[in-house]
Structure 1
Amino acid sequence: MSPSIPTGTSPRLHNEDLAPAEHRKWGFYSLFAMWMSDIHSLGGYTFAAGLFALGLGAWQVFLALAVGIIIVFFLMNLSGFAGQKMGVPYPVLARISFGTFGANLPALIRALVAIAWYGIQTWLASRAVIVIVLKVWPDLKGLTGNNFLGESTLGWLAFLLVWALQLLLLRNGMDTIRRFQDWAGPAVWVVMALLVVYILANAGWNISLDLPGGTATWGVTQAFLAAVSLTVTYFSTLLLNFCDFSRFAPTRRAVGTANVWGLPVNFIAFSVVSVVVTAGTFKVYGQYIYDPVDVVGRINSIWALLLGAVTFAIATLGINVVANFVSPAYDLANVWPSKIDFRRGGLIAAVVALVITPWNLFNTPVVINLFLGGLGALLGPLFGIIMIDYYVLRHQHVVVHDLFREEGFYTYSGGWNPKAVLSFVVSAVPAVIIALVPTFAVLSAFSWFIGAAIAAVVHYLISRNDPRIAESVRAAMAEEAGAQPPQARTA
């Protein structure tokens, strides 16, 4: 049970959804199932096979996946343990380093990335719905011939159906989401296991795991390190806001154990299965098929098609909720806590995701590369600043109730910490340039690491002698020892 928030909190900073969690129902299994939902998606299925395009062989791809996910495991624990200890979501955690109001900067950057991908993933899930509908009612194919804002009538209907289904998860907030994740992630494993058996049996139990790939333009070593880095970058969004889930965990051990089984073990196993199925399709169908829905669709059984399409639609909804729905709900609530709670934040995010017609984003490479690629490059610097501040500068000692006060240790200058903002700008510029400018293509896969490292070093160097940080640490330690903390300086 987390400590209750005392009097003196500001309605501009506090509501029940942002306050430290009191009901800790996300135990080991719920967090483990959450990771299954995040990984067992169409994107997760194709990710491992996509690494062969770097010019790597099978053993090199699998080794890169293993190294990358182990790095993810350790980094994810940083966000997870912080959330579990204080019981606060990502935008509140960001207040420690960026300031009580300055935290809106990292929160809104994360929200923009999430909302764009929320719409795109919703649209991708609707593709599976269309496959089902046309298989059951082929006469509806006539609804696919027109075009309104870039999508057909059937496409709009399928998208709106999936969009509305996700809103049902708002009914009871995070508790409904937890119950959904508890069965959604494992359900995909059942279908994938059946698919593996079917493909291997039809391939005579003899396949080659060396998928066709590209050429290692800058050498095998660079390609291997790029594969490791891309594995970490794949999880870059949740590296920031995993605390949105771990804040509901009853113990630190539950977080760590769930991360072990949900990340290294589950991710590697799912990647191997994905590569096995993709490799087997060449022997069975004479071509490599990278879309599992397409693989299932080639099975001569309406029930197999329905089971596969429904399952992978659910899988896409699962990752959408985990990576792209919960975060903007909290991030938008952080902007105006007195008016926007978790449910309203989620509704706003869903409406924006609808208005932007995400299929037009997805089908425009320039938008994907510049807008989402540029925003994605900013996530590394945010992670570097927040984590170096919490673990190295403050040694995990935080006066939690001051995160909800307008006059406290984390007010800095008008609610903004200029040093964190400076650290962000200094690191964000090179991260974005490396990610987007073709001249630096050899380094583009490493933009997350480069941005995070620069941000962490700069923020540490300009903040290590800040007396306000030392003062807040002493106050937090006194509070943890049961003493009355001293009054904060706000200037």
Structure 2
Amino acid sequence: MAERRLVPVTTSGRLSNEDLAPTTAAQATWRTWDLFCLWMTSAHSLGSYGFAVGMLALGLTGWQTMLALFAGVLMLWFGSNLIGIAGQRLGVPFPVFARATFGVFGANVPALLRGLVAIFWYGIQTYLASTAVIVLLLRLDPGLRSWTEPTFLGLHALGWAAFLTLWTVQLLILNYGMEIVRKASDVAGPVVWIGMIALAIWMLASVGWSIDFGARAGVPLTSGATVLAFTGVAFLMVAFMAGPLVNYADFARFAPSRQAILRGNALGIPFNETAFVVISIVISLAALKKYGSAMIDPVKLVADIDSDAIVIVAAIFFAIATVGINVVLNFVSPSYDISNVAPKYISFRTGGIITAVLSIAVLPWKIWGNEAAIVYFLGGVGALMGPVFGILVVDYYLLRGQRTNTADLYSESTAGAYFYTRGFNPAALIALGVSGAAAIAIALVPSSQSLTAVSWPVGALLGGALMYALSLRPRRTSRAAPS
């Protein structure tokens, strides 16, 4: 059976343009290696390192933290296969994929929610990459310290120069379309391993090649508290990657076969992400032994190295890695999501420009330095990705039995299978509203990390259950064909 049934659709009007149309056979160039690199790029960032190390603060030992994160990696792997296989078979980006569930116009709701989170994180990741560039510049020319005072809108002149340079590079990458994104991912994914391995070797050498995997950054836990913390870390691992998981169809659509998806996911998630977790914990435990704290980011560790050559190389690698993850995870998604709002007027590239401009307007360095903004805004909106995932999976696999009328994803006709009520599916939107409210409430519960950690699974399960219950009525699927 053919991996994908290509259906001709119009590339004009309110629902389509060339970027949102189904992938052609000639565009299916993302093979196993590319998908492997995609997940490498997704995992290899200063934010990912900070997340893994931050889990030590919950009180687990080094080896317990690694096992808990591995459990989360396995859940992420399972979810990525569900979304990836569906995305590859349909050959459409996430906002178009969501039309079958939320309605041809209702899909803008989950798409814009995902795009909003990505815009903020795009700005934050660009800022984090710029800090590595600043370390590099100051090591090359200490005289540039005069550029670090005064500040404008919270950022000094050197910071603005580094930020805008990386901002421009990323915009240029996206301007050439998804093929250049694939090539950028192929480079950024593997290259960071050189920097991480070099940093791990230097850190281990500095502590006598000996670390304690039984060490912990937080206070010791009781047996019950250990179980709760272990479960929380596992679910937080999934929640951390919830956005990329939801919009994985943006990339899976370019895979030539189901086998490419399964192989790329297997190499990129359980194999690679576990390895990245291990090396992150090793570096942090070495930092704990050397400095008395594991909560030191790699850029600060690199800045402490005596060798100029190592500092320069490591800073370049960290900048490349962060730019890579930013383009893949936080640029592609909102570009498609914004384009989906008005395809006739907004192309993928135009959506990218809008994303880039908004990422400056939100002043990401101020957000990164504001814990309340991270927790209550990004954490709250991010909690909605669990319900979106649950609703999409239940609808595609259980309610529609993997059957989709691709042409109707682009149809404005009231007789279209996914027009529902004026282009909106009430069942999906109600399920998202109720489960989303529950997920946000749980995510923002003060002083309850163990409860906050379950916001993603609760949201996903509740959203999926409500979608199933509210959809137990005749559905217009008679014309839908296997996708």
Residue 435 of structure 1: aligned partner = 443
Match of 1:417 among 410, 419, 425: 425
Write the mapping of 1:172-187 to structure 2, written as runs, cut at 5 A: 172-187=176-191
Q: Does 1:266 align with 2:272?
A: yes
Residue 28 of structure 1: aligned partner = 32
Aligned-pair CA distance for 1:193: 1.9
Q: Distance in 2 between matches of 1:366 and 1:57?
A: 27
Residue 16 of structure 1: aligned partner = 18
Which digits, 9 at most, give the CA deviation of each residue in 1:323-376, with x for residues without a partner?
110000000010010111111111100001011111122222222222111101
- Per the alignment, do residues 197 and 365 of structure 1 end up closer, same or farther by CA in structure 2, a change over 3 Å counting? closer
Residue 402 of structure 1: aligned partner = 408
Residue 335 of structure 2: aligned partner = 329
Aligned-pair CA distance for 1:189: 0.8
Residue 167 of structure 1: aligned partner = 171
Match of 1:444 among 419, 430, 452: 452
Q: Secondary structure at the match of 1:475?
A: coil
Q: Distance in 1 between matches of 2:293 and 2:242?
A: 32
- Per the alignment, do residues 8 and 188 of structure 1 end up closer, same or farther by CA in structure 2, a change over 3 Å counting? closer
Q: Distance in 2 between matches of 1:160 and 1:7?
A: 39
Residue 338 of structure 1: aligned partner = 344
Match of 1:354 among 338, 343, 360: 360
Residue 391 of structure 2: aligned partner = 385
Q: Distance in 2 between matches of 1:439 and 1:287?
A: 23
Q: Distance in 2 between matches of 1:187 and 1:467?
A: 49
Residue 475 of structure 2: aligned partner = 467
Q: Distance in 1 between matches of 2:159 and 2:350?
A: 26
Residue 192 of structure 1: aligned partner = 196
- Per the alignment, do residues 287 and 440 of structure 1 end up closer, same or farther by CA in structure 2, a change over 3 Å counting? closer
- Per the alignment, do residues 260 and 7 of structure 1 end up closer, same or farther by CA in structure 2, a change over 3 Å counting? closer
Which amino acid in structure 1 is aligned with residue 349 of structure 2? R
Aligned-pair CA distance for 1:2: 5.1
8 A contact 2:174–2:327 mirrored in 1? no
Q: Distance in 1 between matches of 2:220 and 2:70?
A: 22
- Per the alignment, do residues 366 and 97 of structure 1 end up closer, same or farther by CA in structure 2, a change over 3 Å counting? same
Aligned-pair CA distance for 1:222: 0.9
- Per the alignment, do residues 154 and 41 of structure 1 end up closer, same or farther by CA in structure 2, a change over 3 Å counting? same
8 A contact 2:4–2:88 mirrored in 1? no
- Higher mean C-alpha displacement, 10-19 vs 388-397: 10-19
Which amino acid in structure 2 is aligned with residue 176 of structure 1? I
Q: Does 1:88 align with 2:96?
A: no
Q: Which runs of 5+ in 2 are unaligned?
A: none
Residue 50 of structure 1: aligned partner = 54
Aligned-pair CA distance for 1:285: 5.3
Which amino acid in structure 1 is aligned with residue 439 of structure 2? A
Residue 366 of structure 1: aligned partner = 372
8 A contact 1:10–1:406 mirrored in 2? no
8 A contact 2:229–2:450 mirrored in 1? no
- Higher mean C-alpha displacement, 442-451 vs 394-403: 442-451
Which digits, 9 at most, give the CA deviation of each residue in 1:282-338, with x for residues without a partner?
445565462112222222211110101110111111111121100000000100101
Which amino acid in structure 1 is aligned with residue 459 of structure 2? G
Residue 42 of structure 2: aligned partner = 38
Aligned-pair CA distance for 1:429: 1.2
Which digits, 9 at most, give the CA deviation of each residue in 1:433-469, with x for residues without a partner?
111132765411111111111110011011032332x
Name the Cα RMSD after superposition: 1.8
Q: Distance in 1 between matches of 2:447 and 2:59?
A: 20
Q: Distance in 1 between matches of 2:322 and 2:12?
A: 38
Match of 1:246 among 252, 262, 270: 252
8 A contact 1:2–1:21 mirrored in 2? no
Write the mapping of 1:186-225 to structure 2, written as runs, cut at 5 A: 186-209=190-213, 210-216=215-221, 219-225=225-231
Q: Secondary structure at the match of 2:195?
A: helix
- Per the alignment, do residues 8 and 467 of structure 1 end up closer, same or farther by CA in structure 2, a change over 3 Å counting? same
Aligned-pair CA distance for 1:9: 6.8
Match of 1:116 among 120, 134, 149: 120
Which digits, 9 at most, give the CA deviation of each residue in 1:111-148, with x for residues without a partner?
10000110111111111111111111111111111121
Match of 1:227 among 225, 233, 240: 233
Residue 140 of structure 2: aligned partner = 136
Which amino acid in structure 2 is aligned with residue 265 of structure 1? F
Residue 282 of structure 2: aligned partner = 276
Q: Secondary structure at the match of 1:219?
A: helix
Q: Secondary structure at the match of 1:47?
A: helix
- Higher mean C-alpha displacement, 216-225 vs 277-286: 277-286
Q: Secondary structure at the match of 1:416?
A: coil
Q: Does 1:60 align with 2:55?
A: no
8 A contact 1:9–1:401 mirrored in 2? no
8 A contact 1:83–1:89 mirrored in 2? yes
TM-score, structure 1 as length reference = 0.93
8 A contact 2:9–2:410 mirrored in 1? no
Aligned-pair CA distance for 1:47: 2.4
Which amino acid in structure 2 is aligned with residue 394 of structure 1? R
Which amino acid in structure 1 is aligned with residue 112 of structure 2? L
Q: How many residues align?
A: 475
TM-score, structure 2 as length reference = 0.94
Q: Distance in 2 between matches of 1:454 and 1:8?
A: 36
8 A contact 2:11–2:17 mirrored in 1? no
Which amino acid in structure 2 is aligned with residue 467 of structure 1? R
8 A contact 2:383–2:459 mirrored in 1? yes
Which amino acid in structure 2 is aligned with residue 97 of structure 1? T
Which amino acid in structure 1 is aligned with residue 312 of structure 2? L
8 A contact 1:54–1:215 mirrored in 2? no
Aligned-pair CA distance for 1:381: 0.9
8 A contact 2:5–2:89 mirrored in 1? no
Aligned-pair CA distance for 1:84: 0.5
8 A contact 2:440–2:455 mirrored in 1? yes
8 A contact 1:9–1:406 mirrored in 2? no
Q: Secondary structure at the match of 1:256?
A: helix
Q: Distance in 1 between matches of 2:121 and 2:189?
A: 19
Q: Distance in 1 between matches of 2:340 and 2:437?
A: 26
Residue 73 of structure 1: aligned partner = 77
- Per the alignment, do residues 214 and 466 of structure 1 end up closer, same or farther by CA in structure 2, a change over 3 Å counting? farther
* Identity within the alignment, %: 47
Q: Distance in 2 between matches of 1:10 and 1:406?
A: 12
